Amino acid sequence: MSNIFGQLRRRLAILAPVETPDGAGGLVRDFIEQETVWGAVEPLRAAFGLTADAAGQTLTHKVTLRAGPVLSVQHRLRDGTRTYAVRSFDTADPEARFLVVLTEEMTG
């Protein structure tokens, strides 16, 4: 784990959810850039299937960041044109220097 610093080569934007009233009693959720961090993105799994009679795919990734950013499962990460929904996260080492984030790529 000590050599991971050199692997944090991707510039990732952390997107925070913001909800605003839609004027009809509901809310509209949008995402704004909270901060930009360096990270490593590693593909984990691709699954294909049918959902609501439409073909789809689920792509999961492990993203490693330096510890520090405040995240929740409502946040998203953006890597260029790719956007990842945060599904879970945990510290990656006993010293809590890194944060491992399991994500699902948002496609379509």
Average pLDDT value for the chain: 87
Q: How many helices (H) and strands (E) does the chain have?
A: 0, 6
Q: What is the CATH number of domain 4-105?
A: 2.40.10.270
CA count, 13 A, side-chain hemisphere, 4? 18
pTM of the prediction?
A: 0.80
Phi/psi at 95 (nearest 5 deg)? -85, -5
The domain locations on the chain are: 4-105
Q: Which two tokens stand for residue 65?
A: 């960041």
What is the tens place of the pLDDT at every residue in 60-80? 999 999 988 889 999 999 999
What is the tens place of the pLDDT at every residue in 2-55? 566 568 999 999 999 999 999 999 999 999 999 999 999 999 988 766 555 555
CB-based burial label for 53 (10 Å; 0-12, 13-18, 19+): exposed
